[in-house]
Amino acid sequence: MNVHRQPPHRDFADHVAAVQRLRRDFAALPEGAPVRLAKPTSNLFRFREDGDAPRLDVSAFTSVISVDPDRRTAEVGGMTTYEDLVAATLPHGLMPLVVPQLRTITLGGAVTGLGIESTSFRNGLPHESVQEIEILTATGDTVVARPDNEHAELFRGFPNSYGTLGYSLRIRIELEPVAPYVHLRHLRFSDAKEAMDAFSRICAEREHGGERADFVDGVAFGPDELYLTVASFTDSAPWTSDYTGHDIYYTSIPRYAGSGPGDYLTTEDYLWRWDTDWFWCSRAFGVQNPRIRRLWPRSLKRSDVYRKLVALDRRTDFSRLLNHYRGLPQQEPLIQDIEVGVERGAEFLDFFHSEIGMSPIWMCPLRLRDRPDDAGGGAGEDGLTWPLYPLERDRLYVNFGFWGMVPMKRGQRRHHHNRLVEEEVARLGGHKSLYSDAYYTEDEFWRLYNGDAYRALKDAYDPQGRLLDLYAKCVSNR
């Protein structure tokens, strides 16, 4: 069901004036004070109390500046949500090349903190469709980083820097054409190795059963129940499903699997199919109970609402205290996304089912974007295109996302299951996203996330150490 909205809009002159105001505000911060942004939304799961630390008002950078349908590009404020960005591009028959699953993820957040979705097997990650970034650096200066100018190393090193090298104020991205509808086909597998082989085949051929594959992702409900979803744009649809009300998207996957006609969604509803129930995490709040679901307003069936409830629980410690007084085991939050090569995907799933036992698990294939013209900037001096999150070119990876609570046994350390995952991912030669808790030692961390390249950028763009470094922000959680 489409809910049309008018996205906020600013012209370029307004943007230039806002940049000047922000630079003045930055210069007025007390010397040595931590730099924090005043943002209405966050999709990070590193909850931190900032106290009374002064905050920079970045509300002027939450708008789409312009959409150029001929060049298929958009100029976008760095704090603009994908919900507003999509609302501005779809009327032109266009969308960003990768639209992360949750409405309030910001474009700047997806670029500096990485993002992924079901077009990532052909379009890579969100930063790969960026043409230039205007960045407020730790010195209070603004620079425009492109793959072919004097700030090319910053352009390549900005992804996975999580605001420790500066903040994006304006981003120019590529767009791609869309059709009005998306046709979904859900394929069932009873063996993880067979599912991974299918990912490899479909992503290489970009088609399945004679129909083009525009989107590919999947869900593992258990060791012997896995589904791959192959979807394609279509100009017409015999019907469209609605997963913003009573029906729940992930529970529809087994129902529509098999040799039937599949499922159909409008393109807008497809892009936000996971947001209504925050994948499956809304069940923790009772929202999937039919009686509660009927009473829960449609406008509040959103991932950002559920995240606020989680933040409240973290602040009050309500769940932990409730488990204690009810005599139930304490639970460890395990909210992570990791990537391993598709050839190691079944191995990771075997580990996860036996050692963690959480389900469902989201599966999303990705490959660095094929850029024949090398418009993404090519490799830097270290040979890596995106040095802080080093993925091999021409290799297919699978992202596994798992978000929930795992019961703890007596005597286990608070982060027992998180460390198991980190150790297994390292053993398999994979990577872990840094939007949530991390427990690496400092030596481990810098080895995994290219400390040499990071330190060179930090020295160049934050010589006084005004911003936290990546380890302090993502692991020490200062």
324 versus 453: the higher-pLDDT residue is 453
Under the banding of pLDDT at 50, 70 and 90, the label for residue 3 is: very low
pLDDT tens readout for residues 199-250: 999 999 999 999 999 999 999 999 999 999 999 999 999 999 999 999 999 9
- Is residue 168's pLDDT more than 90? yes
- Report pLDDT for 61: 94
**Assigned token pair, 352:** 């996860």
- Are 154 and 267 in the same domain? no
Given a contact cutoff of 8 angstroms between Cβ atoms, the answer to whether 215 and 99 are in contact is: no
Which residues have C-beta within 8 Å of that of residue 312, sequence separation ≥ 6? 318
Whether residue 26 lies inside any domain: the answer is yes
As beta bridge partners, residue 401 has 337, 362
Domain boundary among 221, 243, 273: 273
- Per-residue pLDDT tens digits for 427-449: 999 999 998 999 999 999 999 99
135 in the same domain as 120:
yes
Strands (E), 118-275: 130-136, 142-145, 167-177, 181-189, 207-208, 211-212, 215-222, 225-234, 263-266
Query: Are 53 and 197 within one domain?
Result: no
Q: What is the pLDDT of residues 12-71, one digit of tens each?
A: 889 999 999 999 999 988 887 778 787 666 655 555 555 566 788 999 999 999 999 999
Interval 356-366: pLDDT, tens: 999 999 999 99
Find out whether 364 and 218 touch, Cβ atoms under 8 Å: yes
| Among 148, 177, 206, residue at a domain's last position | 177
| Model pLDDT for residues 290-312, shown as the tens digit of each residue | 999 999 999 999 988 888 887 77
Four-residue CA torsion sign, 99, 7, 250, 426:
positive
Full residue range of the structural domain in which residue 229 is found: 181-273
Number of domains in the chain: 2
Helices 192-205 and 345-355: crossing angle in degrees, nearest 10, is 140
Tell me, yes or no, whether 59 lies in a domain.
yes
Residue 396 lies inside a defined structural domain of this protein: no
pLDDT of residue 384: 56
pTM to 2 decimal places? 0.91
- Domain final position from 223, 240, 273: 273
Residue 294: inside a domain: no
Contact 218, 228 (CB under 8 A): yes
Examine the pLDDT at 374 and tell me if it is beyond 50.
Answer: no
Are residue 214 and residue 173 in the same domain, yes or no?
no
pLDDT at 53: 65
CATH number at residue 21: 3.30.465.10
Section 143-158 average pLDDT: 97
Query: Do residues 165 and 125 share a domain?
Result: yes
**73 and 221 share one domain:** no
Q: What is the pLDDT of residues 212-222, one digit of tens each?
A: 999 999 999 99
Q: Note whether 217 and 157 are same-domain residues.
A: no
Residue 212 located in a structural domain: yes
**What's the mean pLDDT when you consider all of the chain?**
90
46 shares a domain with 172? yes
Q: Both 162 and 268 in a single domain?
A: no
470 occurs within a structural domain: no
95 pLDDT above the threshold of 70: yes
- Whether residue 192 lies inside any domain: the answer is yes
Q: Are residue 18 and residue 71 in the same domain, yes or no?
A: yes
Instruction: Answer whether residue 373 shows pLDDT above 60.
Output: no
Tell me: do 28 and 149 sit in the same domain.
Answer: yes
Q: Higher-confidence residue: 326 or 289?
A: 289
Q: Same domain, yes or no, for 159 and 37?
A: yes
Residue 163 resides in a domain: yes
Confidence (pLDDT) at 72: 98
